[in-house]
Amino acid sequence: MKPSSKKFISTTLTILAPIWLSAQNPIVQTCYTSDPAPMVHKSTLYLYTGHDEDGADFFWMQEWRVYSTRDMVNWTDHGSPLAIESFAWADDRAWAAQCIERNGKFYWYVCLHSKLSNTMAIGVAVSKSPTGPFKDALGKPLYEGSWDYIDPTVFIDDDGRAFLYWGNPNLYMAELNEDMVSFKGEVQKIEQTVESFGAPNPEKRLKGVKYPDTYTEGPWLCKRGNNYYLLYAAGGIPEHIAYSMGPSPTGPWRYMGEVMPLQETGSFTNHVGVIDYKGNSYLFYHTGKLPGGGGFGRSVAVEQFEYNADDTFPLIYATDKGVDPVGTLNPYKRTEAETMAFSRGVKSEPNATTGIYIADIHDGDYIKVRAVDFGHSSPKKFHVVAASARRGGTIEMRLDSIGGSIIAKVDVPPTGGWEQWKRLKCNTTGNVSGVHDLYFVFKGRKGCKLFNLDWWRFDN
Ligand code: FUB
């Protein structure tokens, strides 16, 4: 290689480095996540997702997962409080779902395969907490009987009326009673037309005719001001995101165009959830961009956007960068290890006593926590709770990059078991103040699991 081209590559890497370092999408790296459904409750944004299995060759999905954030960049993993096994009548396909709060209870509408009817069904689980535990609210499907009964979206209007939409490639709608677990009136099959959704109902589409668009699946119903929006995956496969607008939650709907056009994301499906949080508007979607991922190994991502002046949606494109923080993290309070902005190599595991913890830590893996506010004076001590059956290793706490200055270094000894937790502490070094990204860089013997992490905290 000529010296000039080496210089070009090194200059390019220097220019690109800040972009890589600030990448936030996909927002979960510890497993594959899909079909995002955001919900805001008491100043926390909860994200309900599906879970694509590693190495899958179909949507062999077994459970749903919950994550939460208060700053849009650090996400806490709450594990999987709902799975196929939560529904005695179901046996397959834990597909798209959405959760909503009413009168202090959280209703999680899911779709999955019913062994009663051998079709897809809509189920509903209920909990007193947004993170569970959830239980089947009815002990039977809320509605079942067709393979296209998938992807429920739920919405409660300002006047208290609640609606459920679902379906692929037909679109169905039912009004929910105040109890949220029964329908008021009949289920309606929505008449799709060129004007309302870009094309007529599937059975009325004419061969060879190119329609402006086609409703496919994954509806998301929301409201802003006096406008109601129905977003959905459209265009068949591969899917883009399109939307219709209406003056009420039951329409009449008017097809408005694309929201997220097709891009090379590695996933032939897409699925949206839209929400306002801390003064910003966000669109959640999924891609196949996590390493090893693809059409059946999808990952949730998020983009910030602003509605157009006439209340229509702008075009929104998938990025690797994702969104900026809208808050900071206090390092002087206990933070769970499974709260992170980005990670490489690690996984999360559940434990009945400790809750979720971080596992599968190998030499060279790291966890990044963003926008950590150390305040005016430097911390003096770092505490961490870790466990290791045998090997142990070292945690280097670095500022602002994987190679940044080390402000604390803790050796994790063998503790006698992967869930035998031990509290460790060390003095900090250097002067740290203000807001920084914090990197947990893991070191130890190569090629083996080193230790697990439960939580951490600084003291000053
Ligand atoms: O996740 C399984 C299916 O893929 C969902 O139900 C659809 O919306 C599509 O994302």
How do residues 115-161 score in pLDDT, each as one tens digit? 999 999 999 999 999 999 999 999 999 999 999 999 999 999 999 99
Question: Closest Cα to residue 196, out of 260, 153, 271, 257?
Answer: 257
* pLDDT given for residue 21 in this prediction: 54
Centre of ligand 1 from the C-alpha of residue 107, in Å: 20
Helix (H) / strand (E) containing 12: helix 3-21
Residue 358, H or E segment: strand 355-359
**Ligand 1 centroid, distance to 272 Cα (angstroms):** 10
pLDDT at 301: 98
Summarize pLDDT for 410-445 with one digit per residue, the tens.
999 999 999 999 999 999 999 999 999 999 999 999
Q: What is the mean pLDDT of residues 345-356?
A: 95
Give Cβ neighbours of residue 205 (< 8 Å, ≥ 6 apart): 199, 211, 214
Q: What is the tally of helices (H) and strands (E) in the chain?
A: 2, 34
Q: How confident is the model at residue 14 (pLDDT cuts 50, 70, 90)?
A: very low
Residue 1 has pLDDT above 80, yes or no: no
Of residues 175, 156, 157, 177, the one with CA closest to residue 165: 175
Cα–Cα distance measured from residue 111 to residue 82, given in angstroms and rounded to the nearest whole number: 12
Between strands 98-102 and 105-114, the pairing is antiparallel
Chain centroid to CA 238: 21
Whole-number Å distance between alpha carbons of 260 and 328:
29
Map out the domains of the chain with their CATH numbers.
25-305 (2.115.10.20), 335-459 (2.60.120.260)
Dist CA 355 CA 131 (whole Å):
12
Report the separation in Å between the CA atom of 37 and the middle of ligand 1, taken as the mean of its atom positions: 12
Determine which residue's CA is closest to atom 2 belonging to ligand 1.
95
Residues with CB under 6 A from ligand 1: 34-35, 50, 59, 95-96, 150-151, 217-218, 269, 271
Over residues 85-99, the mean pLDDT reads 98
Mean pLDDT taken over the chain: 95
Query: What global pTM score does this model have?
Result: 0.95
Count of CB atoms situated within 10 Å of the CB of 445? 12
Give, for 416, the enclosing helix (H) or strand (E).
none
- Across 269-280, average pLDDT: 98
Task: Answer for the pair 369, 341: CB distance below 8 angstroms, yes or no.
Answer: yes
Buried b (16+ CB within 10 A) or exposed e, 351-371: beebbbbbbebbbebbbbbbb
Which tokens is 227 given? 């406008």
Distance from the CA of 322 to the center of ligand 1, in angstroms?
22
* Tokens representing residue 368 in the block: 């990044």
The candidate with the shortest Cα–Cα distance to 437, out of 390, 392, 405, is 405
